[in-house]
Structure 1
């Protein structure tokens, strides 16, 4: 089986580490970090960038996309950890919250990746609120490979990025449309169709880097101006929940800042050095598991402790559970994911865990 890989870049794991810290700050209700929920948009941009880069490499290497291979790899990367988490949740949630009556329903909705629309319109899952972003990404994984293949066939050589840019603008306009229609904040915030802009922003960057060889150099030469975008992110922490400014322009600022950061870390420099700090990289490697486990942990701790304890203890417990999952179930699944169809290797190649995360 042909492998389509990206060169491992530890700074991308560092960016994941930043994103998961922001999510924890939000869910721990840390003062002055009301807008930290925007950290999930960093995950979206990064996912769109990595997935589209791999698909474009495969297309230009093979002249086609192997959909079965793509979906199989996504399944083995995501489902084992999710299934383990949901099994633990179903077992232990009745003991932690004996009054809950929607545990099994919430687990099922999460397992089927329906949490984004379930939360937006049916308030389910309530106790697994964080599952919405996984559903958004899963919908992207289902739709994007065949759509990208269609766009590549129809686009003029070197012009795919223009089509994706148009999709990004249309997706932004679609979200703005619902804001001006007076739809509730949470109904807009959680849905795939109104949150696809981050994934498309990452896809746009992938197409630009793939098609326009001088694009990264042009951005690098202007970083001293463009780095004001990432530096503006702390100002967005004042955008609290239910503030429609987050929908109107806050999300877009984060997406553009993420693009600038991803270009900046294509080569070594100050941003690269900051994001390759060992603690951040390790946090990023465990970020999927931490994201899965953190919400029930933080929710339980919030009822008993102040926010500093919730933040520190929540991160420690979530990271420990994520490490347990990663070095057992997830490593086993990754060996199956990366094995040739008739081979099951004893160990996973060292470089490969980032590309299809």
Structure 2
């Protein structure tokens, strides 16, 4: 998020400002804040970011083009100096304050992540880090990054690094070509950027909405839209006054409608982002129409002449309260999120009244920051530095954030004992002793009918929790520490052996991280039954012959090759007596379209599963599918560590948890296959109407979709009984 402010020093000619745009920023920030505070009637406040992007593109491009028209050149040094003065000091201050809030309010398990987030924020790449984590940046919660809102600064920071260079290059080329008006090639360039970015955004939203929401390339079109308006400034000013009024009110209705109607989900940004973006563009265009603006405003750099307030919403947006909030929008945006996340982590889910109180604190901090940090540094009255000095000093602030993030990690990182590594090659990994029985019963408390057991109903408090929720991320199956589950997808059929290595009864487990979660239970069964347990595991690669979505062509090719290699091992001379498999849900490509959710996606996924398993049974490989586990709506380990006295804040409705994963498609596929069995233990994982985070004193999940090794171990008797039943029926 970038806001352009007019220089106030004597070294730059003062220009009028668009008061309607300041008011529009106020509308956007208020929507963002109310959504963050959990005010239900504004579910779409996250579109405030879209409003900011369009305004930023308009003002930044207007400033650059205005300078070109006045002087015939663009000073990149002066441009970057203005950005440094305006943005970096406040951002650095909030980064430092967020580290303090982390130490005092967030559980220790989240400190390391915060350190990395500070480092990524300093480098303006946090949006890509969050995208890789499939993190949400809509509403603060108990497991949300305290710096997640810096993703928007990352997007604009990356764009502003290259945008003036691009415009200067095109303008210089146009002059050398003796173009009559440099704005024509600039408009063509901006138009191509906008069209390409929007097409990419729509395509990515269909297949990977989290990455589309946070990506730079999928958001660039909104800044380009604002840039196009800046380049069209003088032409917009010649449009009829009545049209300006219509544009203004239509745009205002679109923005307000987006705030009240849109909700975060798989369809956004994509085509849905057109509503707030085009609405913002209409308000900007309406304010430039007719040659007159609000009495104290002008169209600024975009037109070099006044615009119109007319009878549109511009008088409302220019009102003093809107101006006051709009002036504080940048520090208010930076402060509100860390305070809300810290409050969530410290006190759990906030009542709307408590959320508003937190926003009040953010407003106070924003006012103080604006008065004592932003204004003195931006005006240059106390720091009368040259543009070069400002840019050099600005380069130190990101470097300080990087160093601060690393030092924070070294200071707070809990000591981790080096994991023992298997002495042999992965294919002959030594069998490990069966781990000791968990000190807590876990799934054993559910009895024979988990759905009827009160032990599976969520409660606020329990006597103890195993493992410690702060250490949940490290409660992993042995395959992680034995190098049997690689850090990144690979195409080798890497095998590890557990149980009785000399046994002739071989059972194979193949799949992704969801399959790896069952290793603790299978280890215990293999030891007890003297099986030779072989694992073929690969992160983010299902053991399925599927036309996967090609969001990453290299990964798809790797997973495809891995499947072929494992299939060759399974169908060779030493066929296993039993194959166990499961996987997470993956987007499937059909007829060039990416199918993420819905009936078509379920059908395509089930068809791929059915085809894969039919091929295996035809090759005389007995196959059993372990139904995919319920998928939670939050990181359970982090949530429980922040809410040990209110565990009911960490529940997910069972119906939603079951609908999110691959379980339904697996059941549909097995239903039409005679020689493939399905084992469903979800009644012992989420037995009640809402999934309890802790059952029998054991933390069920280590994140949002992987069982803790401890809880998986408590499922051993149920899994053994189910396997015995399948094997008896196959005889």
Give me the TM-score of the superposition, normalised by structure 1: 0.86
Match of 2:195 among 150, 153, 169: 169
Cα distance in 2 between the residues matched to 1:284 and 1:225: 24
- Deviation of 1:191 (Å): 0.9
Going from structure 1 to structure 2, the CA distance change for 1:25 and 1:148 (only over 3 Å counts) comes to: same
Cα pair 2:335 2:366 within 8 Å, conserved: yes
Going from structure 1 to structure 2, the CA distance change for 1:120 and 1:332 (only over 3 Å counts) comes to: same
Q: SS at 2:16's partner residue? A: coil
Pick 1 or 2: higher relative contact order, CA cutoff 8 A, min separation 6: 1
Aligned counterpart, 1:322: 366
Aligned counterpart, 1:241: 264
Cα pair 1:4 1:58 within 8 Å, conserved: no
Indicate the structure (1 or 2) with the bigger Cα radius of gyration. Answer: 2
Match of 2:132 among 103, 106, 121: 121
Q: Deviations over 1:270-289 (max 9, x none)?
A: 42210012111111111100
Going from structure 1 to structure 2, the CA distance change for 1:341 and 1:232 (only over 3 Å counts) comes to: closer
Pairs within 5 Å for 1:31-50: 31-50=40-59
Gaps of 5+ in 1: 345-357
Match of 1:86 among 76, 95, 107: 95
Going from structure 1 to structure 2, the CA distance change for 1:281 and 1:6 (only over 3 Å counts) comes to: same
Cα pair 2:204 2:211 within 8 Å, conserved: no
Cα distance in 1 between the residues matched to 2:13 and 2:124: 26
> Greater CA deviation, 186-195 or 327-336?
327-336
Residue 278 of structure 1 pairs with residue 320 of structure 2: yes
- Deviation of 1:238 (Å): 2.8
Residue 231 of structure 1 pairs with residue 250 of structure 2: no
- Deviation of 1:15 (Å): 1.0
Cα distance in 1 between the residues matched to 2:341 and 2:322: 24
Cα distance in 2 between the residues matched to 1:267 and 1:190: 35
Cα distance in 2 between the residues matched to 1:85 and 1:243: 31
Cα pair 2:145 2:341 within 8 Å, conserved: no
Aligned residues between the structures: 336
More helix by share: 1
Cα distance in 2 between the residues matched to 1:199 and 1:6: 22
Match of 2:117 among 106, 121, 128: 106
Cα pair 1:220 1:263 within 8 Å, conserved: no
Match of 1:195 among 202, 219, 223: 219
Going from structure 1 to structure 2, the CA distance change for 1:340 and 1:113 (only over 3 Å counts) comes to: closer
> Greater CA deviation, 60-69 or 186-195?
60-69
Match of 1:151 among 170, 177, 201: 170
- Deviation of 1:12 (Å): 1.8
- Deviation of 1:18 (Å): 0.6
Pairs within 5 Å for 1:209-224: 209=233, 213-218=234-239, 220-223=241-244
Q: SS at 2:218's partner residue? A: helix
- Deviation of 1:20 (Å): 0.5
Aligned counterpart, 1:288: 330
Match of 1:309 among 336, 350, 354: 354
User: What's the C-alpha RMSD, in Å, of the aligned pairs?
Assistant: 2.4
Cα pair 2:25 2:52 within 8 Å, conserved: yes
Pairs within 5 Å for 1:262-273: 262-265=284-287, 266-269=307-310, 270-273=312-315
Aligned counterpart, 1:260: 282
- Deviation of 1:72 (Å): 1.6
Aligned counterpart, 1:137: 156
- Deviation of 1:309 (Å): 3.1
Cα distance in 2 between the residues matched to 1:56 and 1:30: 40
Q: Deviations over 1:123-171 (max 9, x none)?
A: 6882211000011111111010010112223454141323322321121
Match of 1:186 among 193, 210, 219: 210
Q: Deviations over 1:26-78 (max 9, x none)?
A: 22222132222111111111111111011011112222221112112211211
Cα pair 1:6 1:54 within 8 Å, conserved: no
Cα distance in 1 between the residues matched to 2:240 and 2:90: 37
Gaps of 5+ in 2: 1-9, 136-143, 288-306, 390-731
